[in-house]
Amino acid sequence: MYFLTGWPRRLLCPLKSAEEPFHIQPSYQRIFFAVLSETQLSIWFSRPSVLIVSYIESVKAAARFGHYQQSEWRPDDSMIAVVASKGYILLFDVVGGGDDKYLYEPVYPKGSHRVKVNPGYKEEQCAPVLSLEMKRPVDLEAPITSLQSLPEDLVVATADGYLHILHWDGVSNGHKAISLCTVPFSLDLQSSRAGGPCLDLDGVHIRDIEYCVTLDGFAVVFDDGRLGFITPTASRFTTDQLQGVWAADVTDGTCVAVNNKYRLMAFGCTSGSVLVYMVETTTGSMQLSHKLELTPKHYPDVWNKTGPVKMIRWSPDYSVAMVTWECGGLSLWSVFGAQLICTLGEDFAYRSDGTKKEPLKISSMCWGAEGYHLWVTGRSEDVPEDMDSPVTLKQSGILQFQFIRSALTVNPCTSNQEQVLLHGEDRLYLTWGDTTQAQSVPDAPSPKDKSPHHRPASLPATPPDLSQGLGTLLGHKHWHVVQIHSTYLESNWPIRFAAIDSAGQCMAIAGRRGFAHYSLYTRKWKLFGNITQEQNLTLTGGLAWWNDFIVIACYNFIDQQEELRLYPRSSNLDNAFASTTRLHADTLLLNVFRNMVVLFRADCSICLYSITMKPDSSTPSPCVELLQEVSMSRYIPHPGLVVSVTLTSVRTETGITLKTPQQVCLAESIMLNIAGQLIMLQRDRSGPQVREKDPVLSQKKLLPFGSPVVLAQCVEIVWTTCRSSRKKRHLLEALWLWCGEAGMKVWLPLFPRDHRKPQSFLSRRIMLPFHINIYPLAVLFEDALVLGATNETVLYDGVGGGGGGPQLVSEPLEAIFPFCTVERTSHIYLHHILRQLLVRNLGEQALMLAQSCAGLPYFPHVLELMVHVVLEEEATSREPIPDPLLPTVAKFITEFPFFLQTIVHCARKTEYALWNYLFAAVGNPKDLFEECLMAQDLDTAASYLIILQNMEAPAVSRQHATLLFNTALEQGKWDLCRHMIRFLKAIGSGEAETPPTTPTTQEPAQPSSAGGFEFFRHRSISLSQSADSIAAAKFNLQKTFSMPSGPSTKGAERWSKDADCAENMYIDMMLWRHARHLLEQVRLRELGCFSAQLGFELIGWLCRERTRVARVDDFVTALKRLHSDFLWPFPVIPACALNSPLKNGRCRSVLSTHLLKSQSADSLLNTNMESALPAVSSNHSWLDGLGAGPKEMDSASSHGAPVPQEAFLSPLINKVDECSIGSATDLTETSSMVDGDWTMVDENFTTLCLSQSELEHISMELANKGPHKSQVQLRYLLHIFMEAGCLEWCVIIGLILRDSGIIKQVVGFLESPDVLPETITNIRSGLLAVDTWASSDCLGYKPFLKLIQPQLQKLLESAEESVNPESFQPASVTKLLEPANPRVEERGGAVPLGLSLALEASGAGSLEGRPEEEQKQQSPEEGAYDCTLS
């Protein structure tokens, strides 16, 4: 509602004085401020805030009258009454200096358009010259305690128990005195007439008094602390025509302030709380409405330590009250008790170093014009005066706190209730983000947007779908700040009204005269072109938006006539474009509903007007027509009490019993907020309803309104919407109320399910209260959200605390006060409504409402909040709960699919002590865990494991964890598997709070880490640099190559460290069992993922299982399974293959090498990944890991590290972006790349020429390749199986890759005496079976089988030789690797195990037969490309 902003300003008095100001009093228009010190009266101007005149009492007069105490302005600002301490009233005339004399005038540069003279320009822009002339003093012969100004009289209370009524002009009748003893006081007016108990006021006088216009009486505080209300029985005060009521049981009153708009009296008490009373209309008694008091919950340090209430000041619009105490501090409250600001806590009370600040002690305060400023005078501590010390002259200071407020406080129009609009004295704050963020705004305006009569096509007249733009409304906490145009502000300050249109893109403001509007599309203001037109109208009833028109209720000074005007947004701001309708009475409030305008007038009548567009006019011209007039004078005691008037479609029948469904969305009722009491007038359908045949006449003949019904009390703001939706009828047809400290209320419609007839006992609507922790300013109906704002503070550390002396002058303001900002907030309210419905046994309605909102992104959070709030309340209750709600809530949320997640999330955010109560209501966590497993929701099941670990024995936790672990392994949820390994180890070690780390996380390389880790790390870097798309696939290669797979990794040391631990063995057994299961089913891809993701020692395990599950019994089935598993196409044989010249060995190898270089992205990825393997292999990085020392490993890995990052800089990268990554079967893209690269081949081999059949053969080779990612994975598995000695699998992978080098390598291994005879026999029979299958089912394999015919023949010859099985130990393999230490580019001579495969496969083996020059020419490129495998 009201929010502090920035730091307060300090206004220094230019006159130095030894006296401190202690009292400040505003004039009725709040343009002038009277400031008192002991012998000085000063008049300050509001804008600019400057001193105009100061009257200093002479020493002789000061000795006669005494020092000044308080002051009061005459309502027309022409006189000031000042109270002197010796019982005198000093009356001063405020005399103007003439029209041409000004104290301060603005100076503008030459040529400025502002120099033009216009009516009213000088008075508003310049501080006028004033003078003070004292009239004769009035001696009342008793100390004066309080005074109050009336339009013609001045009421003065004195310490001798009298009320004095003085005339301002001081002539007629002198003055009148009324003794309090003659005024009858009772508890209510009825008992007063009946001669009931009266208050004895002998010796009692009035301490504070204030007049309430709308109650027509005085609120008084007596010196004994009792509270009363004095009202005259006639229009004039005489001795026998006053009567009073007093409040029972209150004896500690200190001060009073009345609220004229809401008919409230706020009494400050010595306890520090404020009691707010209302006068009961029937009996006239004083009834306590609510209290304004700090609670120990929020302010434990200062509760009951504030001292008595010093002063209460209501804002000019009466929507908030500022309270200060004797011990210092300020607090701001809404009219019905919602606390907005308090300076006794947080950054206001503590410095950044934690030391406590002394609260600012305030002697007097008042609100400035329109509530934008609070003027404050502080008071210094009393210090004993030293008679000898000289009097020091200093500048006194006044603090000016700055506020911004909601536009709803003065202009409660409902043209847009989804956006928050705040306005300060010179700027607007709105929640809607930039126009580029709003989904309803086009990126660039179309040509027709520039036409003044066209609205952007995507901006409908109705509000946009706010569910779609929700991110814009809630995305950040920053405001869109619009600076008000300075030209308009200078001549029309202060801003009184502001409104925003339904799309949230256009704003209108109105100040003292005229109005202006702003568009977020153009980021420009529109002002009246004719300044005379602007100055000749003033807004009386506010302003609102209707589609593209601004609707204003204004007073025309030229015609002296009240008018209703509509100005188009797109045209220039001029009366020529306005539609004007004359009104017969002053308008106080205005509102818009669909195509209707509702006005509330000063004669307490309500007028409804319809707005239609004239179809025959070329320019958009609205037609305004009076529809209906409703007199409310019987129900409204004073027109100033009406806070808001709203036209709605809300009815008690909710549209079910209406005969014509189209009438539901029409204006069905009027909502009036009368001094906080919300009443509703519905259309009266009790009479005979005759439907006109002519639909036009039927539309115009509106039903009368019935008698008003009171809906709620203490209402501050009302929200309703004119939109309708079948999906969210509950929320869109509801009425939303904010009731201050009583929280929020919603008047919710109740619908029968499935259009059944409603039960007779079921009400049509129900009022549901709930509390929220923000001050609501807007309601998003479909999104079940409330938007608001809150004050935040920022400490400034640059200034230290000041020393002694008056705080206002000596200490910097930045040190006393934090910098205040206003932040946007939001609150979900749906769980409150659902809970209230369940409490009232309306579960069916709650379910309908919840199902309509189930699509909201935060709906699961709503259910979680509901469970959490109910659980906290019931489980922590000290009293037994006879009818607990938690079982009902639990049953309710089982209707939704995320029931299991809701319960476990709520439990994990709740303390352990409440779990038993929760699961007693929702069910056993073991059963819920099993439900998660059945539903395949493993992540939620893992959360339930945490619950079970705390609530059950370790054996139960281990049992359920094992179930989950196995399921996660089967489904490939590797992250969950890693967590489960940690969990199982933690259970066994008894360190559940700090479970040990496992080898599932990537650790930084350390000097002792093994080279295998480094090898895979570099491969992952190379891959991620050239194939970003692969990382997103299910088989995550980055993770694959980041995990240790060799037995010499650091992970292996950690696993073996606790080898004797039963838990480690238990986990190992499960991992081994799963690996065996995968290998038995030939699921090699999953086995590779499993090994890489979990750091499983696949090589060591395969070594052990080499003769068991790692054997291949059926080569054909395994080969088929690999084809399907890795999406690898079966080879096809081209028609020209039998007579192709490419069978020539040399030509084939050259083509193969260069063809692979030209394979677009495939070749780059291929070389990137595969060249890393032999490069690091030659440095003993993985095969040698079992026996090598740490230093050797480190140097080896660092030596091989740069290779994969240096070898792939090629101009082909520019072509990569244009081609698809992955499968090389796209012949068109690949062929184009081949064509583009033939020039490179021709440069090196000028004698080479290709025929059509040769090109077809090349294309066929590409078509027979699988995706590059699969090739990388197969190469990785080949490396694993080769290290483990599983030669059968090596043969199968060699077959699917059709790499004769692999087959040759394996056959070479088989010659070793260490190979088991069974292995040789198995490979031989397997290859024969593949040959037989290929002959019948897959002829594409026949050319490759013919190619490896020599190796197969050699295998048949050596099948009968016996071998020694120890040849496959790592030491033997290491001997094969030892000669190959140079880098790939420099290699020559013998090649190691892994390297020879790649070299032979890509034709590098034929380098020996080439000329020496050709070898030199080829070697640099071979370093980059020869590792690519076909």
For residue 192, the model assigns a pLDDT of 62
Q: Please, which pLDDT band fits residue 311 given cuts at 50, 70 and 90?
A: very high
For residue 715, the model assigns a pLDDT of 96
User: Which DSSP string do the residues of 253-293 spell out, in sequence order?
Assistant: EEEEEEETTTTEEEEEETTS-EEEEEE-TTT--EEEEEEE-
For residue 798, the model assigns a pLDDT of 61
User: Of the candidates 650, 790, 752, 656, which has an alpha carbon nearest to the alpha carbon of residue 711?
Assistant: 650
Query: What are the tens digits of pLDDT across the range 1170-1214?
Result: 333 333 333 333 333 333 333 333 333 334 333 333 333 334 333
Q: Which two tokens stand for residue 1291?
A: 């043969």
- Count of H helices and E strands in the chain? 45, 59
Compute the average pLDDT of residues 1094-1122.
89
Query: What are the tens digits of pLDDT across the range 921-974?
Result: 999 999 999 999 999 999 999 999 999 989 988 889 889 999 999 999 998 899
What is the b/e burial string over 1185-1217, where b = at least 16 CB atoms within 10 angstroms of the residue's CB? bbebeeeebbebbebbbebbeebbebebeebbe
Compute the average pLDDT of residues 978-995.
71
User: Which DSSP string do the residues of 227-255 spell out, in sequence order?
Assistant: EEEEEESSSS--GGGEEEEE-TT---EEE
User: Of the candidates 1071, 1077, 1096, which has an alpha carbon nearest to the alpha carbon of residue 984?
Assistant: 1071
More confident residue, 1311 or 219: 219
Between CA 990 and CA 1051 the distance in angstroms is 22
Q: Give residues with Cβ within 8 angstroms of 156, minimum separation 6.
A: 83, 89, 140, 144, 146, 147, 148, 163, 164, 165, 166
- Residue carrying structure tokens 């086009």: 442
pLDDT, averaged across the chain: 76
CB of 1310 closer than 8 Å to CB of 1320:
yes
For residue 347, the model assigns a pLDDT of 86
User: 723-729 contacts: CB < 8 A, separation 24 or more?
Assistant: 723/462, 723/463, 723/781, 724/649, 724/664, 724/665, 725/782, 727/852, 728/781, 728/782, 728/852, 728/853, 729/852
For residue 255, the model assigns a pLDDT of 96
CB of 532 closer than 8 Å to CB of 557:
no
Number of neighbours of residue 532 by Cβ within 10 angstroms: 11
Q: Which two tokens stand for residue 1032?
A: 């997103």
Compute the average pLDDT of residues 542-558.
94
Q: Please, which pLDDT band fits residue 1154 given cuts at 50, 70 and 90?
A: very low
Q: Which two tokens stand for residue 727?
A: 């999906």
For residue 965, the model assigns a pLDDT of 93
More confident residue, 576 or 351: 576
Between CA 497 and CA 539 the distance in angstroms is 8
Query: What are the tens digits of pLDDT across the range 198-255?
Result: 677 778 999 999 999 999 899 999 999 999 999 887 766 655 678 889 998 899 999 9
Does an H or E element contain 1420, and which? helix 1412-1425
Q: Indicate if the pLDDT at residue 806 is higher than 50.
A: no
Q: Indicate if the pLDDT at residue 1135 is higher than 60.
A: no
Compute the average pLDDT of residues 1080-1097.
89
Of all residues in the chain, what percent carry a pLDDT higher than 90?
Answer: 44
Q: Please, which pLDDT band fits residue 180 given cuts at 50, 70 and 90?
A: confident
Compute the average pLDDT of residues 1126-1146.
62
Of all residues in the chain, what percent carry a pLDDT higher than 70?
Answer: 71
Compute the average pLDDT of residues 20-25.
93
Between CA 340 and CA 595 the distance in angstroms is 36
Q: Indicate if the pLDDT at residue 463 is higher than 90.
A: no
Between CA 1296 and CA 955 the distance in angstroms is 47
Between CA 230 and CA 184 the distance in angstroms is 9
User: Of the candidates 722, 113, 778, which has an alpha carbon nearest to the alpha carbon of residue 430?
Assistant: 778
Q: Indicate if the pLDDT at residue 1220 is higher than 70.
A: no
Q: Please, which pLDDT band fits residue 432 given cuts at 50, 70 and 90?
A: low
- Residue carrying structure tokens 């910098």: 819
- Residue carrying structure tokens 């260069």: 1154
For residue 582, the model assigns a pLDDT of 95
Q: Indicate if the pLDDT at residue 1387 is higher than 50.
A: no
Q: Indicate if the pLDDT at residue 696 is higher than 80.
A: no
Longest distance between any two alpha carbons in the chain, whole Å: 143
Compute the average pLDDT of residues 438-445.
37
Compute the average pLDDT of residues 1235-1243.
37
Kindly give the pairing relationship between strand 605-613 and strand 242-246.
unpaired
Exposed/middle/buried for residue 1429 (C-beta within 10 Å: 0-12, 13-18, 19+): buried
Q: Distances from the Cα of 777 to the Cαs of 474, 808, 825, in angstroms?
A: 14, 34, 10
Most confident option among 97-101, 296-300, 811-815, 1127-1131: 1127-1131
Q: Please, which pLDDT band fits residue 796 given cuts at 50, 70 and 90?
A: confident
For residue 724, the model assigns a pLDDT of 81
Handedness of CA 474, 478, 480, 484 (dihedral sign): positive
Q: Please, which pLDDT band fits residue 873 given cuts at 50, 70 and 90?
A: very high
Phi then psi for residue 780, to 5 deg, are -95, 105
More confident residue, 470 or 358: 358
Number of neighbours of residue 771 by Cβ within 10 angstroms: 10
SS3 923: coil
CB of 686 closer than 8 Å to CB of 653:
no
Query: What are the tens digits of pLDDT across the range 561-604?
Result: 999 999 999 999 999 999 999 999 999 999 999 899 999 999 99
Most confident option among 186-200, 289-303, 526-540, 1174-1188: 526-540
Query: What are the tens digits of pLDDT across the range 1171-1181?
Result: 333 333 333 33
Exposed/middle/buried for residue 396 (C-beta within 10 Å: 0-12, 13-18, 19+): buried
Specify the range with the lowest mean pLDDT, choosing from 794-798, 1095-1099, 1231-1235, 1328-1332: 1231-1235
Compute the average pLDDT of residues 414-433.
85
Q: Indicate if the pLDDT at residue 471 is higher than 70.
A: no
Q: Distances from the Cα of 367 to the Cαs of 262, 401, 403, 1331, in angstroms?
A: 18, 9, 10, 100
Phi then psi for residue 648, to 5 deg, are -135, 170
For residue 1405, the model assigns a pLDDT of 36
Kindly give the pairing relationship between strand 138-139 and strand 130-134.
unpaired
Q: Please, which pLDDT band fits residue 1149 given cuts at 50, 70 and 90?
A: very low
Number of neighbours of residue 1084 by Cβ within 10 angstroms: 23
Specify the range with the lowest mean pLDDT, choosing from 286-290, 770-774, 894-898, 1049-1053: 1049-1053
Q: Indicate if the pLDDT at residue 1057 is higher than 70.
A: no
For residue 1364, the model assigns a pLDDT of 43
User: 344-350 contacts: CB < 8 A, separation 24 or more?
Assistant: 344/294, 344/299, 344/302, 344/306, 345/298, 345/299, 345/301, 345/302, 346/793, 347/793, 347/794, 347/795, 347/818, 348/793, 348/817, 348/818, 349/301, 349/302
Query: What are the tens digits of pLDDT across the range 1013-1045?
Result: 223 333 332 323 333 333 333 333 333 333 333
Q: Please, which pLDDT band fits residue 366 given cuts at 50, 70 and 90?
A: very high
For residue 1407, the model assigns a pLDDT of 35
Specify the range with the lowest mean pLDDT, choosing from 95-104, 1304-1313, 1327-1336: 95-104
Peptide bond into 494 cis (omega under 30): yes
- What pTM, to 2 d.p., does this model score? 0.77
Q: Please, which pLDDT band fits residue 367 given cuts at 50, 70 and 90?
A: very high
Specify the range with the lowest mean pLDDT, choosing from 48-57, 216-225, 347-356: 347-356
CB of 672 closer than 8 Å to CB of 708:
yes
Query: What are the tens digits of pLDDT across the range 264-276?
Result: 999 999 999 999 9
Q: Please, which pLDDT band fits residue 755 given cuts at 50, 70 and 90?
A: low
For residue 691, the model assigns a pLDDT of 53
Residue type, 900: L
Strand order of the β-sheet with 579-582 is 537-546, 549-556, 561-568, 579-582
Q: What is the DSSP letter of 693?
A: S
Q: Indicate if the pLDDT at residue 439 is higher than 60.
A: no
Between CA 943 and CA 915 the distance in angstroms is 14
Q: Indicate if the pLDDT at residue 403 is higher than 90.
A: yes
CB of 978 closer than 8 Å to CB of 995:
no
Compute the average pLDDT of residues 468-487.
72
Q: Please, which pLDDT band fits residue 1314 given cuts at 50, 70 and 90?
A: confident
For residue 621, the model assigns a pLDDT of 87
Query: What are the tens digits of pLDDT across the range 839-849?
Result: 999 999 999 99
Q: Which two tokens stand for residue 445?
A: 């305006």
Specify the range with the lowest mean pLDDT, choosing from 9-18, 681-690, 1296-1305: 681-690
Q: Please, which pLDDT band fits residue 1240 given cuts at 50, 70 and 90?
A: very low
SS3 6: strand
Q: Which two tokens stand for residue 1053?
A: 């040391």
Peptide bond into 1211 cis (omega under 30): no
User: Of the candidates 1205, 1217, 1195, which has an alpha carbon nearest to the alpha carbon of residue 1171?
Assistant: 1205
Query: What are the tens digits of pLDDT across the range 332-350?
Result: 999 999 999 999 888 888 8
